[in-house]
Structure 1
């Protein structure tokens, strides 16, 4: 028994699963169409509201027509009852009293039937009817009747027996084959036969046909009206949607750089005013974009010219400064200190000039990627070793990298520069708190994060932080001696790799920068192995990643740091956040 149930269940699942999958796909398709098509929403909404109105009107009209037909039928039947009662009373008054009661009743009923067949279809009549005559007998004897007495409801007979004229709607069937609703009206008579009750059964076949015709007419008319409303709403919605679609297409082309695109202006209605407003906005944006492009080109040309023009005098000054510094032992202390400051500032000036040259190459589109297959952990170690400010500021650095090599197709010089800039930026804004450098990789991509627990970033600054020379707090002292171009260059280096450099920050919590690169050059990034937003509000060190801050590690060797190793390194400058 259990096996049979299991087989039926598996068979049901085998048939039901594809059907449910098809229903889910259909619902998703319809939902997608509903979200994307304004015209569809307008048409469906119009048809839905119109259908509700048509149904309400149809119900009201059908009810009103039914009531009017039945009222007219009742009025005509009452008049016919008055005439029929007179005929019966006259007929019974002229019948031999010695005849049997049933024969008298059948004679009166036959007279009514003959009269009905002769003139019942005349204008203004209630239509054909079947008469029934009933006389209640005293005692236990059954009543005497003529006609379809079995079709008369008991509650109607009670009203008539009490001397009232009453009517009732009921379902009847006759020997001629009719079966359906009928109006039955009854009345007591003042004949020679005591207790005689007269009933007329009016079939409602013609009224039922009339109501069926009305219902079918309303149904067909409603369907035709819905089709017409659908066509009308489609045309009306199209008149509204077409200019909007045109504006959308033109806006897309405008965003692609085709700044001469404009909407056609037709007429003076709302759509025409929309087109004019759109064209005015496009014209204003086009002028501003053109001006910004001109300013940008001037800035790029100025940067390139200045950086190239400064190389020759800077080389001369550097040679002179080196000569002075080499002979500084023979100078007095004040001049010796001046020579040291001169060399330090020249180092910073050379860094600024190198950054200007690099950013001008990116602007000119001549920056090239010298990629090679290598272990990216070497880039991280080299970046750590060149940031000398770790020792000077006493900042703790936690390096968390996999044990196994992480091979990727990258430009080691550019990746090292990005990491160096991020580390130096974290030192400047980390307020002496620990800094985390983490590397993770999957089959398609690798990701570095550099996280600090310093001042953080305010909302919106995660985009501004990559602008050239942008600083959130100009009064903050730079420990790195950065030029303000480090993060801007880092973004360009990441873009050259088809990667991403992103930032997250929260005031008082810290900041996190994530560099995501594809492991194979040219492969599109889908996701990152590391989350950008930290899962914890504060950076907490555990025994597995505890760092050794006070010890001096020394010069860099060819070995790769093990996971959770913490190092203090010496090095040069990096970028800055603000």
Structure 2
């Protein structure tokens, strides 16, 4: 199952996923913002303390060099070692490192040009900070990494100031502080926030799941009841409890179901009454029509001895009786379909031979309308199980409609088969049918152009009966049509009645 299908088929999964994603994003955003503020506050506090402590250490060193300058026998190297080695443990233990750098970069009075505590690399002092320190007589600071000769690196801050040793020269003193303890605190806070965030997200998901199930449960129940109603169980209703919005929904749904049930029952009664009326009238008309047919046949046979006007009237009478018999036959067939008593008289049929016979029967009508029928069929015998009378009625109807609406253009008839079915496509290049009319083509008594249909005949039941005949065989009729381009009807039937249609040989869309 695709991910989109997984979420599309469940309102609970859709709402739960959206609410969970929003909650996770919100918690992550708030947690990250809070974490950054806390960590920045801890570091800023450490930097402020480092500046104060570094300034005090630099002032102390400046004082020591000043006192030493009063004595001509002062050993400045000893003072330097005392200041630098006052931090005899690493920054992780003492919290700071000392660096004394000669501005000139030369060794003077035995003082090295670079003196650092605990093997701190002088490159730990940023060049930008050295430029600031050399440039004026102010305290400057900058964040940096404390790097040692053993490759270890620790994040921290460097505080520097210029020191003038009168007998020796100008130096720069830097006090460096690491953020190791602060980083441990920040990491601890981060882990605590992650744990709290995960616990909060899990709690939100559990609460959202419970609340959503309580809200969606009646909606799901309403959907199940609606499905049962649509399947024909008109007595199914929702259980209504309380007087909240869900109860109001259930009450409104039940009222709607009652109204629908009454309307459906009324329409079913009207439909049964109509079907019975049509069936009764059709049967009642059969007997007098037979008598009228016999009388009209006698008049028609003796028409040569009548006045020309009366003779023409006899021909018109017989023609209209034929149309009336056709309508009566269609009405009786519709009544059988409505009563679900229509059956198949199965036999082995050569479908190609049957189609050719229909074409021959309609050849005169096609010639009168200047329509050429082109057939594309396999040469071998194509046998299927079917009712030859019903299939022939389908083909006569489809071919007759194509000839009527071809507007003098040719009609193409194509027969193709597959392992499970045979398709017969009837394609005309006439006026076509508008798109908004396609869904009504198989409705009873419907005509796209009533005026033309009345002129050319037809009961308006042909296509409806044709589809019923196709469905009775386990087949179908597909339709494609476009105004100005013509229409294509495709009849597809199974080769045998015990085998379903697996592959349709011809689709509804024309290939030419």
Q: After TM superposition, is the score higher than 0.5? A: yes
Per the alignment, residue 393 of structure 2 pairs with 417
- Displacement of 1:293 in angstroms is 1.3
1:427 aligns with 2:403: yes
> Which of the numbers 129, 132, 156 marks the counterpart of 2:96?
129
**Local SS of the residue matching 1:211:** helix
Change in CA separation of 1:305 and 1:184 when aligned onto 2, cut-off 3 Å: same
State which of 2, 5, 9 in structure 2 corresponds to 1:36: 9
Matching of residue 248 in structure 1 with residue 218 in structure 2: no
Structure 2 match to 1:291: 266
From 516, 529, 535, the counterpart of 2:492: 516
Deviations 1:319-355 (A, max 9, x none): 3333444444554444444433333333222222222
1:290 Cα deviation (Å)? 2.0
The answer to whether the 8 Å contact 1:389/1:480 transfers is no
Name which of 26, 35, 43 aligns with 1:70: 43
Does residue 160 of structure 2 align to residue 186 of structure 1? yes
Gaps in structure 2 of 5+ consecutive residues: none
Q: For the residues of structure 1 that align with 2:180 and 2:55, how far apart are their CA atoms?
A: 23
Query: SS where residue 451 of structure 2 aligns?
Result: coil
For residues 320 and 237 of structure 2, what CA distance do their matches in structure 1 show?
Answer: 54
| Partner residue in 2 for 1:363 | 338
Alignment of 1:332-411 (within 5 A): 332-387=307-362, 388-411=364-387
Cα distance, 1:178–1:335 mapped onto 2, change above 3 Å: closer
Three-state SS of the structure 2 residue aligned to 1:475 is helix
The answer for unaligned runs of 5 or more in structure 1 is 1-27, 121-125, 537-578
Number of aligned residues: 501
User: 2:27 maps to what in 1?
Assistant: 54
Greater RCO, CA 8 A, separation 6+:
1
Partners of 2:139 and 2:161 within 8 A in 1: yes
Matched with 1:98 is 73
Aligned position for 2:510: 534
Query: Matched residues in 1 for 2:471 and 2:141: separation?
Result: 92
Please list the CA deviations of residues 162-216 of structure 1 after superposition, one character each: whole Å capped at 9, or x if unmatched.
5332223333367999852233323345888764654433332211111111221
- Rounded to whole Å, the distance in 2 between the matches of 1:515 and 1:146 is 97
What secondary structure, in the 3-state scheme, does the structure 2 residue paired with 1:460 have? helix
Using the alignment, how far apart are the partners of 2:66 and 2:433 within structure 1?
A: 114
Confirm or deny that 1:454 pairs with 2:427.
Answer: no
In structure 2, how many angstroms separate the alpha carbons of the residues matched to 1:361 and 1:439? 30
User: Could you tell me how far 1:266 is from its partner in structure 2?
Assistant: 5.3
Of 196, 207, 211 in structure 2, the residue corresponding to residue 221 of structure 1 is 196
- For 1:253-302, what per-residue CA distance to the aligned partner results, in whole angstroms no more than 9, with x for missing partners? 22211223334455666655554554444444333322221111111111
TM-score in terms of structure 1 length:
0.75
Supply the distance in 2 between the matched residues of 1:476 and 1:136 (Cα, whole angstroms).
Answer: 110
Of residues 213-222 and 56-65 in structure 1, the stretch that sits farther from structure 2 once superposed is 56-65
1:325–1:223 distance in 2 versus 1, CA, 3 Å: same
C-alpha contact 2:120 2:148 (8 A) present in aligned 1: no
Structure 1 Cα separation of the partners of residues 159 and 299 of structure 2? 134
Kept in 2: contact 1:423–1:450 (CA 8 A): yes
Q: Does 1:167 align with 2:141?
A: yes
**How big is the shift at 1:495?**
0.9
Q: Distance in 2 between matches of 1:469 and 1:109?
A: 110
1:411 is displaced (CA, Å) by: 0.8
Structure 1 residues 283, 454: closer, same or farther in 2, change over 3 A?
farther
User: What's the counterpart of residue 304 of structure 1?
Assistant: 279
Once residues 132 and 477 of structure 1 are traced to their aligned partners in structure 2, the CA distance between those partners, rounded to angstroms, is: 108
CA shift, 1:478, in A, is: 4.6
User: Partners of 1:139 and 1:423 in 2: how far apart?
Assistant: 112
Are residues 180 and 340 of structure 1, via their aligned partners in 2, closer, same or farther at CA, if it must alter by over 3 Å? same
Q: Is the 8 A contact 1:424 1:480 kept in 2?
A: no
Quick one: structure 1 residues 527 and 101, their matched pair in 2 at CA, closer, same or farther if it must change by over 3 Å?
same
Residues 154 and 178 in structure 2, CA contact (< 8 A), matched pair in contact too = yes
Change in Cα spacing, 1:328 to 1:221, as seen in structure 2 (3 Å) is same
The Cα offsets for residues 500-529 of structure 1, whole Å up to 9 and x where unpaired, read as 123332233322222111111143334432
Kept in 2, the 8 Å contact 1:328–1:335? The answer is yes
Is 1:443 equivalent to 2:419 in the alignment? Answer: yes
